[in-house]
A and B are shown apart, each in its own frame.
Chain A
């Protein structure tokens, strides 16, 4: 075909440009990115992106509904066609980082690969289009799936029974604490306090407070572990429970757990397990065998249901037999070859009640069950082994370049700090931003709070040896760069569609929605 404009690429200039551009150790380049305004800033009057059926009746709402309650249309809504919508969200998606884009070692979040099979299965019409109030005779498949998942989670965690209801990890915590409160109330005294180690995630104290408990922090030891003496000193008959994450948020196994549980149980308290880190233990050890009385799962972490840019999650709660009567409704039961939900409080008079509408995040149950079925017992154990192997490999490759505040053995994640970089002025935040230029999602930063400038790395089992090597090479490269060109590290990131954003300004002058003529300068 002819070239009507006669334009030819300037090959020399192109080569020079490419040479200037640094390709990151994660193979990141600047690529091509579009600017994309808000939906509300585009479109044209009269456009729509949907195809709707005729009404089928000309009944006039104004004859039935008071006119003061009606509106002809919602002011401010965009007017765009289907292609515009597709392009808008496709472009927005290219501004995002997902596991599918590249390595995502966000500690405590278990960013493992989300199988496409699970997505396809959750979309089967029998699951996606099933109404929660369809009679049980029309929902036997869904109920059987819930039953099987409940049995599997109880077996994996070593507990008697599991409720699938909670919507995420934090709601699981709240659920577990409510069960604990109900247990104590049944024994005559709800008690007042919950012990929480200083390594705990913020949701632990927040969930305790939401359930009316006073939070008592407990210090972890020099080795990053919780010690029985510290618990003994804090423990009394006003303590309802201790909340322990095991392995903890430093990636360290709380090896005194059995003795700690004894200390707590001796004074009538219960032991709550934050199961966010269950990935380290699959098929290797079970919280129910270590002295825990109750724990929540995070299906969106351990069982690869997608994190979705911030949810939905699912936070089933497993309990020992003595706590089972207090679990929220519904519970799924099998009667002969039929399955049924128990929803009537008369059947479970000591239940804490309901924690969410309907039965839980069923779409997540399908995905989690699919993964459990595909992996089987040996695959689940292999997942834990490889997750721990990957974290330990990263630790070995980085331990002479970054400060490792705890020399104690790591399980599925490892926490470094920016202490060695102090003289250069480069901080954890700078390292995180520079990693982006290399083509890696940064680790979790500044958490857990016990480590100043924490860099919390959780590779997960689905990442290959080469990926971890490249990531660690980038981390080392940044440490070296910090020593010679700290300003380059502090200027990062330069490759994404936006440079560092002014968070102070966002909080000081909140602009939380579009309004006509909106300007942010």
Chain B
């Protein structure tokens, strides 16, 4: 076994030193009735060639010949090979949480850079070292808002990603906090009248998507004003972070916290995970922030260096009084995003966002040419919903042609008759203009 370096001689000598008669004897502290007296029922060991042929066979049964036209929380983007080749440096990917800062400055400085990127893109003052995903980041942001305000109601736009709202509901089930969902209007933006009516002195937070799940650039300034009028926090949720290269950071628009995923930067869709959740915040609430955070300091000789800091918020110190139970987060995914954002830089990110916006328009025009109108009139980025009639039928039909067509909105909003034929589609830099045309035609026939 290539990963087990022990020779029979080694085992013998080590057993003798340890005062054990056999390998079995090492387990004498496990009472005999609790031991497993048979081999595990698993396939026999595989050599490397067998392993690869088996897993290649599985991977080949997944159809990835065309870039998917579905986003809905996981976005197909080009990942420059530089990203992965740097991630594969063993010093990065085989390290763990930087508990020993003197030999973890690489991870720590990269986290500091990640935190800076998150702050710059969201327009907020502080950020943590990453969360599991956008959904749990959203739930943690709401929990934080209830701690900060001492209130127990949260007003959530129905246009926030439905899976994020489900996760929020799961996280809040035991706390007694109440979720009030407000609808979106025909423009795909949160219904501001309903939102203002729902926010009251009991409200801890208002949660809106930016862009929201429908692909629409939602009204963060208005939502923030409504929240602040009653002393609540405004939390913005971003699933397609490339949009932040075109749009103002939510912090600049009044959001008190911004959460979501940076999957779009440097992380493949990978059937939904892993990807880095992000969490950004106004500095005044720093002590209530969940998760790890990296800070700058100096060493004994006065040289700048980085450490994990403010750990008195965390589970290993504070145990049941911690701000969160999170321990392992999504460090390597955050590093992937950091590398990709470094490559993009100021010009590259601005341009990537504009390419995505342009591809969204091409998709919109191509679909209109085929007679499919946009469902929502509000401003969009690279994701748009179209009225296609039998949306599930379209998805099934295009699957047989190797195209993941989109997300039928009726799956997520089964009670909304207006969305019965709506298909949510995305176009990114991966979707060349000709491919977009082909796609629209394929949806038609």
Contact = CB atoms under 8 A, between A and B. Distances in A.
A56 B361 CA distance: 10
- In this complex, the member of B28, B84, B326 whose beta carbon has the largest number of chain A beta carbons within 10 angstroms is B326
B305 interface: yes
A48 B345 contact: yes
A141 B95 contact: no
A252 interface: yes
A74 B346 contact: yes
A178 B173 contact: yes
Nearest to B403: A138
Interface string A300-329: 100000111111111000000000000010
A276 B321 CA distance: 22
A93 B395 CA distance: 44
Contacts of B1: 375, 379, 382
A123 B84 contact: yes
B352 interface: yes
24 contacts: A40-B113, A57-B359, A65-B217, A69-B248, A74-B249, A85-B343, A98-B91, A133-B70, A133-B404, A135-B399, A139-B62, A285-B27, A309-B96, A312-B331, A388-B27, A389-B11, A411-B26, A433-B100, A461-B4, A498-B299, A501-B300, A513-B119, A514-B113, A520-B297
Contact of B17 (A125, A129, A374, A397): A397
Given A53-B432, A209-B321, A215-B319, A364 B296 contact: no
Contacts of B368: none
A126 B3 contact: no
A71 B316 CA distance: 41
Interface residues of A, number: 210
Contacts, number: 700
Interface string B386-420: 00000000011001101010010000000000000
B94 A100 contact: yes
Contact of A64 (B46, B132, B316, B380): B380
B27 A284 contact: yes
A350 interface: no
B330 to A, nearest CB: 5
A135 B398 CA distance: 10
Contact of B346 (A79, A112, A119): A79
Contacts of B197: none
A392 interface: yes
Interface in B21-59: 23, 26-31, 33-36, 39-48, 51-52, 54-59
A405 interface: no
Given A377-B42, A389-B15, A357 B164 contact: yes
Contacts of B47: 374
A8 interface: no
Contacts of B315: 170, 202-203, 205-206
Given A80-B342, A124-B56, A206-B320, A40 B116 contact: yes
Interface stretch (B73-81, B151-159, B201-209, B227-235): B73-81
Nearest to A444: B99
B325 A98 contact: no
Contacts of B95: 96-99, 307-309
A114 B88 CA distance: 11
A118 to B, nearest CB: 9
Contacts of A4: none
B28 to A, nearest CB: 7
Contact of A447 (B84, B316, B330): B316
A501 B56 CA distance: 47
A50 interface: yes
Residue of A202, A207, A408 with most chain B CB atoms under a 10 A cut-off: A202
9 closest residue pairs by CB, A with B: A358-B272, A100-B90, A308-B332, A126-B59, A132-B272, A310-B331, A376-B45, A96-B106, A212-B174
B330 A312 contact: yes
A117 B96 CA distance: 20
B212 to A, nearest CB: 13
A314 to B, nearest CB: 8
Contacts of A82: 82, 343
A94 B268 CA distance: 26
Nearest to A64: B379
A309 B100 contact: no
B350 interface: yes
Given A167-B133, A181-B174, A511-B295, A92 B106 contact: yes
A290 B29 CA distance: 14
A42 to B, nearest CB: 10
Interface string A65-76: 110111111111
A212 B326 CA distance: 16
Contacts of B300: 499-502
A360 interface: yes
A312 B130 CA distance: 10
Contacts of A104: 94, 96
B398 to A, nearest CB: 9
Contacts of A59: 357-358, 361
Given A96-B107, A117-B48, A375-B45, A70 B248 contact: yes
B248 A72 contact: no
Contacts of A473: none
B100 A97 contact: yes
B36 A52 contact: no
A286 interface: yes
Contacts of A377: 39-42, 44
B169 interface: yes
A61 B362 contact: no
Contacts of B110: 89, 92, 309
A55 B358 contact: yes
A432 to B, nearest CB: 7
Contacts of B343: 48-50, 80, 82, 85
B135 A354 contact: yes
A203 B119 contact: no
Contacts of A258: 31, 33-34
Contacts of B30: 253, 255, 284-285
B248 to A, nearest CB: 5
Contacts of A73: 245, 346-347, 349-350
Given A310-B107, A385-B26, A462-B5, A49 B348 contact: yes
A376 to B, nearest CB: 3
A393 B135 contact: no
